[in-house]
Amino acid sequence: MRSDLIAQINTDALIHNLNALRAKCAPGVRFCAPLKADAYGHGVRIVAPALQNAGVDFAIVATVREAIELRNIGWAGEILLLGNVLAISEPSEQARRIEAMTEHRLTATITDFTALQRIESYRPRRPIPVHLKIDTGMGRMGVLPKDAEPLAAAIAASKATAFRGVYSHFATADFELKDLAQAQLAEFHGAIERVRGHGDKDFLAHLANSAATITMPDAHFNMVRPGIALYGYAPAAYMRADIDLRPILRLVSHVVSIKTLPAGHCVGYGQTFTTTRTSRIGIIPVGYFDGFLRRLSNNSIVGTAFGSAPVVGRISMDQMAVDLTNLDAIEVGAQILLIDSDPMAENSVESIATRLDTISYEVPCMLGPRIDRVQYSDTSGW
């Protein structure tokens, strides 16, 4: 039984974006696909096989569970755990996670001596590949550059680990003014020189997110890891002219009820909308549990085959109302386009993010578990 909410994931657009990003890189630069958070909400079970078939052989996720799911759906390439997943106090849970790293061939992130010591104390049956994360200026996870070399030396000396790479993360690569990004890049160059000798011959260095992949070729090193751009969304509006990206998400539902209300009738909780004329009000089975937040109440539109319709009244947990008064042809069962794959549409991911005063990353990540993700390659027509 299918859901009333269908996220159509266009894998043709996904591969187009992959190729557009690859074209920004020099030959030999590896491509790492960020597949954390269910492929940024788009459905890892659809996205990962398409990317693997296109030759992507490196992925990053945030948690061990995400990595195991990726292996279970057939991902054969390398998987880097971004999170400091051993920063837990229970020895039994530490052991379970280290065993999972060994069994599923996962690469761990090391940010301090504690994580290294926990791997060593477990004595894995084969060395666990690790990447050293360096904090070059974001102030989040990572060892400071001045402390990186002793930790790198300890990783290289350990029989429990194999030192495979080093990475960092930009804080402001999406800004047009790149003062901090350039300072981070310089810090990373210096850190690489201090730790490179401790790594093996396949040593990887990676720093470039989407924005840096598009606008900072000197930050590509030998691997890039663009996330949001892979799914078709520009990290900043000014970058749209620099690369042809195609959003891969289209979210559809249908009208489940239509009623005619007289002028002066309340619609929804809190009496935030009252009809000013005789009105045809349609009900759509989507609510804030599904990612359509209450802040979109009276502040968004949906698409139909006959034109757009405004959302009226408060969005509730499972339902929202739209004004169909000017769309006489719409009947119960008619398809509703909740999120349009056209980036210029009033209900695109970018437009919804603007209405919510947030970023495009957050909109697909909020899409809830009642939404079925299905592969889709033909976005023409209704």
CA gap 272, 313 in Å, rounded? 6
| Whether the Cβ atoms of residue 235 and residue 211 lie closer than 8 Å to each other | yes
Amino acid at 15: I
- Record the pTM: 0.95
Residues of the chain with pLDDT under 70: 378-382
Q: What is the CATH number of domain 249-376?
A: 2.40.37.10
SS3 349: helix
What string of DSSP letters covers 57-115? -EEEESSHHHHHHHHHTT--SEEEE-S-TT--S-HHHHHHHHHHHHHTTEEEEE-SHHH
Provide the 3-class DSSP secondary structure of residue 156: helix
> What pLDDT is attached to residue 376?
87
Query: CATH fold of 11-232, please?
Result: TIM Barrel (3.20.20)
Beta bridge partners of residue 128, listed in sequence order:
161
Residue type present at position 212: A
Q: What is the pLDDT of residue 106?
A: 98
Domain boundaries, the chain: 11-232, 249-376
Side chain identity at residue 268, one-letter code: G
- Position 1 scores a pLDDT of 86
pLDDT, residue 21, reads 98
How far apart, in Å, do the first and last CA atoms of the chain sit?
Answer: 22
**What confidence tens digit (pLDDT) does each residue in 221-271 have?**
999 999 999 999 999 999 999 999 999 999 999 999 999 999 999 999 999
**Residue 201: predicted pLDDT:** 76
Residue 378: the pLDDT is 62
Looking at the annotation, which residues are catalytic? Answer: 36, 269
**What is the DSSP code string of 4-50?**
S-EEEEEHHHHHHHHHHHHTTS-TT-EEEEE-HHHHHTT-HHHHHHH
**Residue 382, pLDDT score:** 45
Q: Where are the alpha helices (DSSP H) in 225-356?
A: 349-355
